[in-house]
């Protein structure tokens, strides 16, 4: 391939991207490389695509840098092909609660606590309620906490900003606190916005247990309280698999004042997840979704996705030997279900100890009720 750029590394990133244009990592590396080497016009369309696919903070910062440069250097001061303000304020995922299988109680609780204040601000002001606030989602890994956050952003037509831990944590004193402040300022500028902190326990861990974390927790508390800037129109969501590691101060009113347990999918939800993951695959008509869902009791969403992947791999191997398409059948899926163990078991075993010995405030009552109901149905 003929070299397009002066920098050798950038040409290598370009070649990798051209060989796999649908690879998210290759696209991200090339786009950020273009920004680093000030190839703004080439970078901008890629960055917009990445914002739609994976709107992490590095991408949003890069877009802001590119837009500022293009506005400064456009003829007559006119913007060059910049995204409209309206499009910047809308989620690009196309995901709403209709896309979420099951979780009816969680969705209704989120509507009451969060969505309705956004949709009817004048009514909620009469009851001294405002749009925004904090929501802490906890539960076993792979049960849809991130997806719920995306769906919430879709319901209120807000920008959804995912914050990864590596974008904040730094070995230099004070840098993590600065990063947290910058991220909150970015969300305030783009309100209405949903700021999603995955693995919030790594940032907001109980103070005193780990060194050099108190400053990070204090900064989170300051930003969520909105002491220096208003947080109106901004929703902060934290997701964690380790709720016992989250500092109690973050769960006080005005911060993560709404705490919800995201349980593994129920029977109907499991059926729906199987249907969604099998709908675009060649399948025989003998597949019994209800039976598969029954056998997958206790499975997380990710576990069910893995079952479908294993079954598809089995059909693919048969197709290679046969030299023609071999559809997935019930036998392959049953074999796949039996080969996958529920990943939620270890999590429930761990939290059961906290329910028994550290539940004085009733923090884990919803988990306890779920476990009691599940045991009663055995």
Alpha helices (H) along the chain:
8-19, 24-36, 40-53, 57-72, 85-88, 104-110, 116-119, 121-126, 145-156, 175-189, 214-225, 267-278, 289-295, 301-322, 330-339, 345-357, 365-376
| Domains, in order of start, for the chain | 8-83 (1.25.40), 97-261 (3.40.50.300), 267-339 (1.10.8.60), 345-376 (no CATH)
- Per residue in 131-160, pLDDT (tens digit) is 566 889 999 988 988 888 888 888 877 777
What's the rounded Cα separation, in Å, for the pair 60 and 195?
12
Quick one: pLDDT at residue 156?
A: 78
Angle of helix 267-278 versus helix 301-322 axis, rounded to 10: 30
pLDDT over 90 percentage in the chain: 23
What are the tokens at 192?
């209405």
What are the tokens at 37?
């080497």
Whether cis (ω within 30° of 0) applies to the bond prior to 192 is yes
Calculate the dihedral angle through the C-alpha atoms of 238, 126, 189, 173, rounding to the nearest 10 degrees.
-50
Residue 301: which of 347, 272, 265, 342 has the closest Cα?
265
- Per residue in 336-356, pLDDT (tens digit) is 999 999 999 999 999 999 898
In this prediction, residue 314 has a pLDDT band, given cuts at 50, 70 and 90, of very high
Quick one: pLDDT at residue 212?
A: 57
Quick one: pLDDT at residue 261?
A: 93
Mean pLDDT over all residues of the chain?
81
Quick one: pLDDT at residue 271?
A: 95
**What DSSP letter does each residue of 199-263 carry, written as one string?**
TGGGTSBPBTTBTT-HHHHHHHHHHHHTSSS--TTEEEEEEES-GGGB-GGGGSTTSS-EEEE-P
- Per residue in 266-296, pLDDT (tens digit) is 999 999 999 989 988 999 999 999 999 999 9
Quick one: pLDDT at residue 114?
A: 75
Averaged pLDDT for residues 252-269: 86
The pTM score is 0.70
Averaged pLDDT for residues 357-377: 84
Q: Would you say residue 220 has pLDDT above 50?
A: yes
Quick one: pLDDT at residue 272?
A: 92
Quick one: pLDDT at residue 75?
A: 44
In this prediction, residue 213 has a pLDDT band, given cuts at 50, 70 and 90, of low
What are the tokens at 113?
């606590």
Quick one: pLDDT at residue 203?
A: 77
In this prediction, residue 57 has a pLDDT band, given cuts at 50, 70 and 90, of low
- Per residue in 72-97, pLDDT (tens digit) is 554 444 333 333 322 333 344 567 88
Quick one: pLDDT at residue 46?
A: 87
- Per residue in 115-130, pLDDT (tens digit) is 787 777 777 777 766 5
């Amino acid at each position: 391939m003929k070299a397009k750029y002066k920098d050798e590394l950038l040409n290598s990133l370009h070649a990798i991207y051209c060989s796999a244009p649908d690879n998210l990592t290759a696209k991200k590396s090339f786009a950020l490389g273009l920004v680093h080497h000030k190839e703004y016009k080439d970078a901008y369309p890629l960055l917009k695509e990445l914002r739609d696919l994976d709107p992490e903070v590095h991408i949003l910062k890069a877009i802001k840098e590119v837009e500022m440069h293009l506005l400064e250097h456009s003829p007559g001061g006119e913007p060059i092909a910049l995204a409209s303000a309206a499009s910047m304020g809308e989620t690009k995922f196309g995901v709403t609660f209709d896309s979420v299988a099951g979780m009816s109680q969680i969705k209704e609780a989120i509507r009451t606590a969060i969505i309705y204040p956004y949709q009817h601000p004048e009514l909620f002001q009469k009851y001294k309620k405002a749009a925004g606030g904090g929501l802490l989602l906890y539960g076993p890994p792979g049960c849809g906490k991130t997806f719920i956050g995306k769906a919430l952003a879709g319901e209120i037509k807000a920008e959804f900003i995912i914050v990864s831990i590596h974008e904040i944590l730094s070995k230099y004193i004070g840098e993590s606190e600065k990063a947290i402040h910058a991220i909150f300022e970015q969300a305030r500028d783009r309100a209405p916005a949903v700021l999603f902190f995955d693995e919030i326990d790594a940032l907001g861990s109980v103070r005193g247990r780990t060194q050099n974390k108190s400053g990070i927790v204090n900064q989170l508390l300051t930003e969520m309280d909105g002491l220096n800037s208003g947080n109106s129109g901004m929703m902060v969501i934290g997701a964690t698999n380790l709720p016992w590691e989250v500092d109690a101060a973050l769960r006080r009113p005005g911060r993560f004042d709404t705490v919800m347990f995201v349980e593994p999918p129920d029977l109907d939800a499991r059926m729906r997840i199987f249907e969604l993951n099998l709908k675009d695959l060649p399948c025989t008509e003998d597949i019994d979704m209800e039976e598969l869902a029954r056998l997958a009791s206790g499975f997380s969403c990710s576990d069910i996705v893995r079952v479908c992947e294993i079954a598809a791999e089995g059909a693919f191997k048969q197709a290679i030997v046969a030299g023609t398409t071999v559809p997935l059948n019930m036998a392959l899926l049953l074999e796949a279900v039996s080969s996958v163990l529920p990943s939620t078991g270890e999590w429930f075993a761990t939290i059961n100890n906290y329910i028994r010995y550290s539940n004085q405030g009733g923090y884990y009552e919803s988990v306890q009720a779920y476990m009691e109901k599940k045991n009663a149905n055995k």
